A and B are shown apart, each in its own frame.
Chain A
C-alpha cells in the first residue's frame, strides 16, 4: 500500500541535542511538507520541497533544517537552536498542484526532557 511513513512515533530529546525525524513516501508525489502542531492549535508550516535538491522555508523554519536528496525522503532535523521543540510533527506529500489534498504521515511526537 502506498503512503507516508514517519519514524519514530515518539522521540525524546535532551536539551542541546539535535534530532532527526524521518519521513518516507512511496506515492511518487513531487511535493513534501513538514508541519508542526501544538496543543489546541492548527498546523504551522516548517519547510517544504517541490523537487529533489530544492526546498523552501515555511512560516516557522528557525531552528530546523531539511534535505531532499531523494524524491521519496524528506527528513527534518530539529536543532538545538529551536527553543521550544516539544510538539507533534507531521509530514505530508502531494502531487504538484493545489487541487490535491495532502497525504499525511501518522506523526512524530517530540518531547524535550
Chain B
C-alpha cells in the first residue's frame, strides 16, 4: 500500500513556462509535506515544505499548494529553467512517526531550452 503517490513518472516543459508536479497521499496522519530535488548519482536536496495548517507556501520560483480535503499537493515552478531538470520527490511526515518521511516514486522533470 503506497501511501505517497506521484502518478506522473515524467514531465517535459519548455523553458520559461510553468512546471506543475503532483502528489497524492492516503494517510490522514501526515501533517507535513516536503519536496526534494535529485540529480543522478547524488543525494536529494530539500526544496520546500508545507505544514498541514497552511494551503500554500512560496519560496522564490517554487510554490507548494496543499489541498487537505483531496489529500493532494502540487509543486509549481515558475519560470522553469533548464537547470531545474531533475527528479522531484514528494515526501510526507507526521508528528506521530518520529520524523520519518514516506517518499513517492518521483517525477522526472525535463526543461527544454
Contact = CB atoms under 8 A, between A and B. Distances in A.
A56 B97 CA distance: 11
A102 B101 contact: yes
Given A40-B105, A98-B93, A98-B94, A45 B46 contact: no
What 5 A-B pairs come out closest when comparing CB atoms?
Answer: A101-B46, A104-B43, A42-B103, A43-B103, A42-B105
- Which among B45, B99, B101 has the greatest number of chain A C-beta atoms within 10 A? B99
Interface of B: 4, 6, 9, 31-32, 34, 36, 41-47, 49, 51, 89, 93-95, 98-106
Contacts, number: 70
Contacts of B44: 43, 90, 102, 104
Interface residues of A, number: 32
A22 B62 CA distance: 33
Given A31-B99, A98-B93, A99-B51, A41 B105 contact: yes
Nearest to A95: B99
A50 B34 contact: no
